[in-house]
Chain A
Amino acid sequence: MANLYQLSSTSLDALFAALLDDGRRILAPTDRDGHSELNPVQTPADVARDCLQTTLSAKGAVFPKVEQLLGYSLAPGQVQLADPERRAEPTVLFGIRPCEAAGFQALDAVFNWGTRDAFFNARMASLAVIGMSCTRSDEACFCTSVGGGPGATRGSDILLTPTAGGYLAEVLSDRGRAIQALAPELFSPAPADADQAVLLAQVPVAFDQPALTAQLPALFDSPLWEEQALRCVGCGACAFVCPTCVCFDIQEEGDKQGGRRLRTWDACGFSQFTLHASGHNPRPTQAARWRQRVYHKFSIYPDRYGQLGCVGCGKCTRACPVDMNLREHLLQASQAQAQAQAQAQR
């Protein structure tokens, strides 16, 4: 393959140095008491060795948990608005998984639907992604059921695959080529018989997603959702760790002199997400809110944006206090119609 190279493990040090010299910060998974999160690193030695996935997703690099949208100062009869400077520190995300890298496209679909979100775009414009293929997976993963895979390239500018002595490197975009150009000597052509596929984790397809998406409209009133949501405690952990969840709140903070308007992460699982000031709540039960999560990702996104709102990373399952396993729930949903028909026939 023309864009397939190899890098030795030791040359990562030089690559990191070249990136830092180029004025970029590097965010990579680091270990902390058994949790892995994306943090600034200086050398490959800082990067978590054996991290399947970070708990929080990479979306925080382009959609932070708190972001100032505007500021204002107040005087009698006067308001002065302040348009915040666009934050765009050149950043390289190193070592994020193909599933997470695929999430950026879903974020872009929302942030640039109709109107363009300047804050997101400024950060995306300054971002490059060096992804890391997966050589193992766990029971929460289901990337292959949603059009992804352990070696999928969507969203990565360079994709590394661990191999003996180093990595295979696919250089996938202009941004990837620009990184390569910082230290071209580190990238030697991959051997002709290099086979990326055998190095990757086996992730069997768990459910028929196109069939599920087609069935969802008919399942809206199914008792399935109440059953699945019985143990859901209504927190926002799933939405907040998700690479594609983008729902947000806008909050105002200030006093008589002035203040600021902040955007923060929000979640459809919270009971007051759709609560009207009148007290009316269109989604008054956890079952309705759980159903919304599934439908938003698997029915509404394909309809609106031509892509799924889920990358199969499994972070939600791992973060959930009560193990709401999305893959398991979706498999059950995809079987629900057939089961109901079988029931009716008995």
Chain B
Amino acid sequence: MSDMSDMNETNIYLPHLMRIAAITDEAPGVRTFRLEFVDPAAADAFSFHTGQFGLYSAFGEGESTFCIASSPTRKGFIECTFREVGRVTAGLADKEVGDILGFRGPYGNTFPIEDWKGRNLLFITGGIALPPLRSVICNCLDLREQFGDITIVYGARTVNDLVYKAELQAWQERPDVNLVLTVDPGGEAPGWTGKVGFVPPVVEQLAPSPDNTIALVCGPPIMIKLTMPILAKLGFAPSSIFTTLENRMKCGLGKCGRCNTGKSYVCKDGPVYTLEQLGRLPAEY
């Protein structure tokens, strides 16, 4: 029992105050905030690892859970990307540069990129699932020499729905990154030079080799469901396929019980899981 209770223990539910430094409209209903700590001491003390998430407050509406979409290698700010879909995200979408939000984090486990030195990295993602992987991609690109081939397969419903259009341009132009973009049939726009097709068949066509490769898959449930068998067929082992889960969260600290799935708490044991670990959880996520 906690006999050493201190009457003045820190309030773990108190967020950092963050100022919105920049807003990018990524796609219809989707925006990115660049946030800076209001308190410089908090900024200095802050660090995180790729894969972690936070709870972002729109004061007056509540908190919402998003991954930290920026790379840990970039100091002084964090970024989050969200789609307006409910009460809190609608409150966030109303904000302007200079407004103050709250941030609690970093929470959760991380992508173990230190274990991937010398490996090839294959990112497969779609729509608004790119944000969590964008943190990893940017992190790895900042440490480019540590990794082998980097391949990114990213698709969205339409050209307009692709997020991080500026980054996509930059990745396209890099000779040391193989970026494969695709849109759903009917989603192409005039001048589109990327592929047309759903992400799973594009991956099948690409036929990436599993040798010495880590795959990171993040996307809507249907995309994951159809992509995993393809990777299995190609010879990827479940322990070398990583994904990141989203579950309804409130506290982010393993206390409120909401994100509990099987024996796992997505906010503590996740959100990063290998396919092998996912296989041990009931399909309740």
Contacts and interface: CB of A to CB of B under 8 A. Distances in A.
User: Are chains A and B touching in the complex at the 8 Å CB cutoff?
Assistant: yes
A211 interface: no
Contacts, number: 143
A74 to B, nearest CB: 6
A78 B100 contact: yes
Given A77-B99, A220-B282, A247-B256, A277 B2 contact: no
Contacts of B255: 110-111, 113, 117, 246, 248
Given A255-B60, A280-B221, A121 B17 contact: no
A252 B60 contact: yes
Contact of B9 (A78, A121, A256): A121
Given A70-B13, A77-B100, A125-B7, A299 B282 contact: no
Contact of B250 (A112, A115, A117, A248): A248
Interface string A293-322: 001100110011000000000000000000
Interface in A54-89: 69-70, 72, 74, 77-79, 81, 83-84, 86, 88
Interface string A38-56: 0000000000000000000
Contacts of A274: 247-248, 258, 284
From B86, B247, B282, name the one whose CB has the most chain A CB atoms within 10 angstroms. Answer: B282
Interface in B232-285: 246-248, 250-251, 253-258, 260-263, 265, 268, 282-285
Interface in B94-117: 98-100, 102
B5 interface: yes
B7 A86 contact: yes
From B250, B255, B261, name the one whose CB has the most chain A CB atoms within 10 angstroms. Answer: B255
B210 interface: no
A177 interface: no
B59 A124 contact: no
B100 A79 contact: yes
Given A300-B263, A304-B263, A117 B247 contact: no
A283 B262 CA distance: 12
Interface string B118-155: 00000000000000000000000000000000000000
Contacts of B285: 282
Given A77-B99, A248-B250, A252-B61, A296 B257 contact: yes
Nearest to B6: A121
Interface string B205-232: 0000000000000000100000000000
Given A122-B7, A274-B248, A296-B257, A105 B99 contact: no
A108 B1 contact: yes
A259 B116 CA distance: 46
A248 B60 contact: no
Contact of A116 (B9, B85, B260, B282): B9
Given A77-B98, A247-B256, A261 B6 contact: no
B113 to A, nearest CB: 23
B89 interface: yes
A165 interface: no
Nearest to B19: A77
Interface in B56-104: 59-63, 85-86, 89, 98-100, 102
Contacts of A277: 85-86, 89
A259 B59 contact: yes
Contacts of B254: 110, 113-115
B166 interface: no
Given A77-B100, A304-B263, A121 B256 contact: no
B11 interface: yes
A249 B7 contact: no
Contacts of B250: 248-250
B284 A116 contact: no
A83 B7 CA distance: 13
Nearest to A282: B284
Given A247-B257, A266-B256, A273-B258, A83 B11 contact: yes
Contacts of B13: 69-70, 250, 261, 263
B257 A268 contact: yes
A178 interface: no
Contact of A79 (B6, B59, B262): B59
Contacts of A104: 1
B8 interface: yes
10 contacts: A72-B59, A121-B9, A252-B60, A254-B59, A254-B60, A261-B62, A266-B258, A275-B248, A276-B247, A304-B263
- Which 6 interchain pairs have the tightest Cβ spacing? A247-B257, A118-B9, A125-B5, A277-B86, A121-B5, A252-B62
Given A81-B102, A110-B257, A274-B248, 5 more contacts: A83-B11, A115-B253, A250-B256, A266-B257, A292-B260
